[in-house]
Structure 1
Amino acid sequence: MKKICLLLLAFLAVTPQAFSQKNNKDVFPDGTKIPNWFLDATKINPSDLGKFYSVTDYGAVNDSTIVQTKAIQKTIDEAYNNGGGVVVIPKGVFMSGALFFRANTHLHVSEGATLKGSDNINDYPKMPSRIEGQSIEYFTALVNAYGINGFTITGKGTIDGNGLKYWEAFWQRRKENPNCTNLEVSRPRLVFIWKCDNVQVQDVKLHNSGFWTSHYYQCNNVKILDLHIFSPHEPVKAPSTDAIDIDVCTNMLIKGCYMAVNDDAIALKGGKGPWADKDLSNGGNENIIIEDCEFGFCHAALTSGSEAIHNKNILMRNCTVNDAKRLLWLKMRPDTPQNYEYITVENIKGYAYSLIYVKPWTQFFDLKGRKEVPLSYSDHITLRNIDLKCDVFYDMKITEYDKLSNFTFENLKVEAKNGAVDKSIIKGLTLKNVVVNNKVIK
Structure 2
Amino acid sequence: MIKQCLMTVVWIFVCFSIYAKNYVITDFGVVADSTILNTLKIQSVIDQASANGGGVIVIPKGVFYSGALFFKPNTTLKLEEGAVLKGSDHIDDYPLIPSRMEGKSIYYYAALINAYHIDDFSITGPGKIDGNGLEYWKAFWAYRKLRKEQDLPATNLDVHRPRLVFIWGCDHVLIKNVKLHNAGFWTTHLYQCTNVLIEGCDIRSPYQPVAAPSTDGVDIDVCKDVVVRNCYISVNDDGIAIKGGKGPTAHKLYENGIVENVLIEDCTFGFVHATLTMGSECLHAKNITIRNCKIDHDRTLLNMKMRPDTYQIYENIRVENITGRCRYLVTMRPWKQFFNMEGTSEKPFGMVQNIVIENCKLQCEHVGIIRGNANDSIHSFVLKDLDIQAKNEVLDTDYSEVQLENVKVNGVLFSKE
In 2, the alpha carbon distance for the partners of 1:435 and 1:41 equals 41
Match of 2:172 among 195, 198, 201: 198
Shift of 1:49: 5.1
Match of 1:320 in 2: 294
- Find the aligned partners of 1:38 and 1:216 in 2 and give their Cα distance: 16
Distance 1:376 1:37 in 2: 30
- Give the secondary-structure state (helix, strand or coil) at the position aligned to 2:297: strand
Q: What are the superposed Cα offsets for residues 88-135 of structure 1, whole Å, 9 maximum, x if unpaired? A: 000000010000000000000111000000000000001111010000
Aligned to 1:150: 120
AA paired with 2:61?
Answer: K
Residues 328-367 of structure 1: matches in 2 within 5 Å?
Answer: 328-367=302-341
Q: Which residue of 2 aligns with 1:30?
A: none
- Residue type of the partner of 2:221? D
How far has the Cα of 1:429 moved from its partner? 2.0
Correspondences of 1:16-415 after superposition (within 5 Å): 35-38=3-6, 44-45=13-14, 47-48=17-18, 50-178=20-148, 179-415=153-389
* Partner in structure 2 of residue 418 of structure 1: 392
Write the letter of the residue equivalent to 1:223. L
Q: Deviations over 1:139-191 (max 9, x none)?
A: 00000001100001112000000000000010011111142000000000000
Larger Cα-atom Rg: 1
Give, in whole Å, the separation in 2 of the partners of 1:356 and 1:433. Answer: 17
Whether the aligned pair in 2 keeps the contact of 1:296 and 1:324 (CA below 8 Å) is no
Runs of 4 or more, structure 1, over 4 Å off, are: 38-46
Cα pair distance change 1:436/1:40, threshold 3 Å: farther
Aligned to 2:322, the other structure's residue is in SS state: strand
Gaps of 5+ in 2: none
- Equivalent residues of 2:9, 2:173 under 8 A apart: no
Q: 1:420 to 1:184 in 2, by over 3 A?
A: same
Which residue is 1:4 aligned to? none
Q: How many residue pairs are counted as aligned between the two chains? A: 409
Change (3 A) 1:83 1:39: closer
RMSD between superposed Cα atoms in Å: 1.5
| 8 A Cα contact 1:90 1:113, kept in partner | yes
Seen in structure 2, the aligned counterparts of structure 1 residues 40 and 77 have a Cα distance that, compared at 3 Å, is: closer
- Cα offset, 1:387, TM superposition: 0.2
Q: CA deviation at 1:36?
A: 3.4
| CA contact 2:2–2:225 (8 Å) conserved in 1 | no
Question: What is the deviation of 1:405?
Answer: 2.3
Q: Distance in 2 between matches of 1:274 and 1:381?
A: 24
Residue type of the alignment partner of 1:204: V
In the alignment, is the contact (CA less than 8 A) between 1:367 and 1:373 conserved in 2? no
Compute the displacement of 1:273 (Å): 0.5
Partner of 2:408: 435
Letter of the structure 2 residue corresponding to residue 218 of structure 1: Q
1:377 positional shift: 1.4
Q: Distance in 2 between matches of 1:123 and 1:403?
A: 46
Instruction: Quote the Cα distance in structure 2 between the aligned partners of 1:323 and 1:105.
Output: 38
Question: Aligned equivalents of 2:21 and 2:346: distance in 1?
Answer: 58
Write the letter of the residue equivalent to 1:212: W
> How much does 1:48 deviate?
1.9
- How far off its partner does 1:197 sit? 0.2
- Amino acid aligned to 1:435: K
CA distance in 2, matches of 1:322, 1:209: 21
Structure 2 contact 9–195 (Cα < 8 Å) conserved: no
Aligned partners of 1:208 and 1:230 also within 8 Å: yes
Q: CA deviation at 1:314?
A: 0.2
Query: Residue type matched to 1:333 in 2?
Result: R
Tell me the distance in 2 between the aligned counterparts of 1:377 and 1:160. Answer: 39
Is the 8 Å Cα contact of residues 49 and 86 (structure 1) preserved in structure 2? Answer: no
Q: Is the Cα contact below 8 Å between 1:301 and 1:324 reproduced in 2?
A: no
Q: CA deviation at 1:433?
A: 0.8
